[in-house]
Amino acid sequence: NSVWVSTDHDEIEKVAKQFGAQVHRRSPEVSQDSSTSLEAIREFLNHHHEVDIVGNIQATSPCLHPSDLIKVADLIQKEGFDSVFSVVRRHQFRWSEVKKGENKMTEPQNLNPAKRYRRQDWPGELYENGSFYFAKRHLIEKGYLQGGKMAYYEMRAEHSVDIDIDIDWPIAEQRVLSFGYFGKEPLKEVKLMVCRTKNRCRLPSKSLNSVLLQMEIGMDKMKVAIPQVRLISERDCSKTLSAMQLGCIAKVSATNKLEVLEDWQKDMGLSWKEVAYLGNEESDVECLKKAGMSGVPADACAVAQKAAGYICKSRGGCGAVREFAEHIFLLLEKVNSARKQ
C-alpha cells in the first residue's frame, strides 16, 4: 500500500522522495550504530496504526526483484502466514570449529566423510540471506520478525547478494551486470539503439583516432544483435560522422532529441521497451527516461547519471559505447536463455 524509507539523514530523505518513496524520520534513539532493524520498525508502527503488515527490505540486498515481493505478499495476505523471510540454497559442507588451545578434533556437521558425495548431487541447505523479512503487526509488537505461522521464500542464487563487507560490493555489481534487473515488466528484444554523439574534432589527431576506433568497435558489436543503430547530436558533426563511415542513420543539429527519438520509435512501430539509448548530457535526460534500456559514460553529467539505468565504467570516447553494447548483450542473453527454458 505504501513504500517508506526510514532515515535520520537529510540527503537520504531528499533522494528517497525524488524516487517516489515516503519518509519516516527516525529518532536518535533508534539511529545508533547498535540499533536494530526491529527497533526502527517498531517505532514506525507506533506512528502508523493503519499498517497491519510490514515488509522490511534490506538495502544491502540490491538484487531483489519485485516479482519476489509480490509472491511473498500473497503468502501473508492470501495464505494466512504471519511471517515470511528470504532464504537461499547453499551447497557447502560444514565442520565444527576448533578454537586455539582446545584439545579436540573437528567433526563433520552435515556430511559423512566415508560416504562423501558430490556437492552438485546434494540438495543442499537453506540459509537466511537477509534480503527481506515480512511480518504482521502483532508479531512485531511482541518483538519478533519471525514467528507464528512461518514460511520461507527461496530466492534464486544469482539474486541473493548480501553486502556486509567490501568484497561483497563488486560481487553485487557483477550479478546485476550478468543477470540484469528488469523491474516489473519483462525485457523485450532491443530493436533500436540510439547513441548521442558530439563533435570531437578539437582533440589531437591521436586522441581522435582512438575515439573513432572505440566507437567503431562498439557500433560493430551492436549491429550484430540490434537491427537498427542510429546516432543523434545537437551539434553539427556531420563531417566527423562522414569520416567514420559507420553506415547508420544520423540526426545532427537536433534541437529536441526526444522529439527525434519519438519520431523514430513511431516510424518503426516500436514500444519504448525495444529502444536503448546512450546519452551524456542534460539534453539527453528525457530520452534516457523514456528508453527501455538507458546508459551513460562514467563522465556524464550528474542529472544524466541519475536518469540512466546503467552507468559505464568507461568515459565517453574511451570505450563507453562498447561497454554499453556488451551490457545489453548480457541482459538479452539472459532473457533468451530464460525463454528457451
| Catalytic (active-site) positions | 116
Beta-carbon neighbour count of residue 155 at 10 Å? 21
Under 8 Å between Cβ of 243 and 200 = no
Residue 47, helix vs strand vs coil: helix
**Beta-strand (E) ranges in 187-338?**
192-196, 228-232, 250-251, 275-278, 293-296, 310-311
**Nearest alpha-carbon partner for 243 in 221, 211, 281:** 211
Under 8 Å between Cβ of 161 and 63 = yes
Under 8 Å between Cβ of 74 and 134 = no
Task: Locate 95 and state its grid cell.
Answer: 565442520
- Mark out the alpha helices in 24-180 (DSSP H runs): 37-47, 66-77, 137-141, 168-179
- The sheet with strand 53-57 has its strands ordered as 53-57, 125-136, 83-90, 150-154
Under 8 Å between Cβ of 327 and 314 = no
